[in-house]
Structure 1
């Protein structure tokens, strides 16, 4: 019997070798739906190859691609912006180097892909998939600053700070956590709290396990919570620094 799984993938940051590992280790089949939480680029040296892989994968696999803040920065650069000098110090430099010999036609395909990314995805089970978070107490449909979907860190900080003894029925329980059955995010690596596996706090699952730094890349079954990981990504690129 074919099982139709929904699998969520954390921040990739240019690590195509890690993508290959998790796809193989999770035994991904054509019946699976893959939800990518964004930040496909910046860090390791294969950002263009990651985008090529995802574009090709979407031709034969049911995929959902969420927009990450680094994807947003790359799109701006590919479209001619040279103003964000700070980006160069946070993974952008390796991406610029990787694009030195990329053809104009290939860049246009990447631009089209980046422009097609979703700000978020809400499935039929009221599970929200979003790169970073949201700030409006009434949920994503009321967000005044949609750009925060790919930049916010307050949702995760609130989840970490929430006292587990506060009931979901309490008036003290944050309203942001009451709208969705579960919320899946990336953006803020759990290596910041000395973890390298997905972390569950309140209704939030953080699947960014630090692939850009010293951690592995993760793919997780959202129904069973079983997950598979690559080797620590820095070991797959021994001559590179990533975002370290």
Structure 2
């Protein structure tokens, strides 16, 4: 059985379909989505609808990202967060034109059901952004950390790879888990269009919201599957504003 981790989609349905076709999804696969399904390209509502239907056929885990929190709030209350609006929310709201009240209710339930993290039976942790507690995810004081934190990735990037996990110098935060898979911070910020590894942390957000690709990783083999660059798939669009 394969476990496939899939990076931040940001409304890029065409990229998602490309990646899933390259993965050649099998009935006994588990697909773990790292969050941020919406905000960016023009098909956010369509991405959510596709994923709702996909989950009826294949085992899927949908982790909640910060953009999903914003969209969930809008679907629930009608409130438009202005930070969200200028960072993809406008395009997401436009994508919901033509979706019925019942469709929106189903999508809201989809967002509400999302976990903030997933720990598999091999002690691999999947979450959107990171965590700060040296005692692990169960001791994290602020749940928002799971979809906003960047310090986990920043710390991993500065680590000396030669330091053993048994060393006193190895951060306690990283010792709790066999591997940690995240999204949230695009690897294109570091000049890379492929998933990046730093010690036992894997970042698979390869900038699909901007000029990069959508990526998926087989967590056992570390095989990588990628879409085309998103601007090539949506040539008449700008994607999400960078921040």
- TM over 0.5: same fold? yes
SS of the counterpart of 2:77? coil
**Secondary structure of 1:146's match?**
coil
Query: 2:46 touches 2:95 (CA, 8 Å); kept in 1?
Result: no
Question: Which of 132, 138, 141 is 1:141 aligned to?
Answer: 138
How many angstroms does 1:81 deviate by?
A: 4.7
Answer yes or no: is 1:216 the counterpart of 2:218. Answer: no
Map of 1:126 onto structure 2? 123
Q: Unmatched 5+ residue regions in structure 1?
A: none
Following TM superposition, by how much is the alpha carbon of 1:83 offset from its aligned partner in structure 2, in angstroms? 5.1
CA-CA distance at 1:31 after TM superposition: 1.6
State the 4+ residue runs in structure 1 displaced beyond 6 angstroms. Answer: none
- 2:165 matches 1:188: no
Q: Aligned equivalents of 1:15 and 1:87: distance in 2?
A: 17
Worse-superposed segment, 81-90 or 131-140: 81-90
Instruction: Choose which of 74, 90, 94 in structure 2 pairs with 1:93.
Output: 90
Residue in structure 2 matched with residue 70 of structure 1 by the alignment: 67
Deviation of 1:234 after TM superposition, in Å, equals 1.2
Q: C-alpha displacement at 1:147, in angstroms?
A: 1.6
Find 1:156's aligned residue among 150, 153, 157: 153
> Residue 220 of structure 1: SS of its match in structure 2?
strand
- Compute the displacement of 1:222 (Å): 0.3
Corresponding residue to 1:201 among 193, 198, 203: 198
SS of 1:79's equivalent? helix
Q: Confirm or deny that 1:24 pairs with 2:1.
A: no
- Say what the alpha-carbon RMSD is for the aligned residues: 1.1
The equivalent of 1:14 in structure 2 is 11
Q: Deviations over 1:112-157 (max 9, x none)?
A: 0000101111011100000111111100010110121111111011
Q: TM-score, normalised by structure 2?
A: 0.96
Counting matched residue pairs gives 241
Q: Deviations over 1:197-226 (max 9, x none)?
A: 110001100000110011110111100000
Matched, 1:117 2:114: yes
More displaced stretch, 99-108 vs 70-79: 99-108
The CA distance in 2 between the partners of 1:46 and 1:81, in whole Å, is 19
1:171 to 152, 158, 168: 168
Q: TM-score by structure 1 length?
A: 0.96
Q: Supply the distance in 2 between the matched residues of 1:227 and 1:70 (Cα, whole angstroms).
A: 24
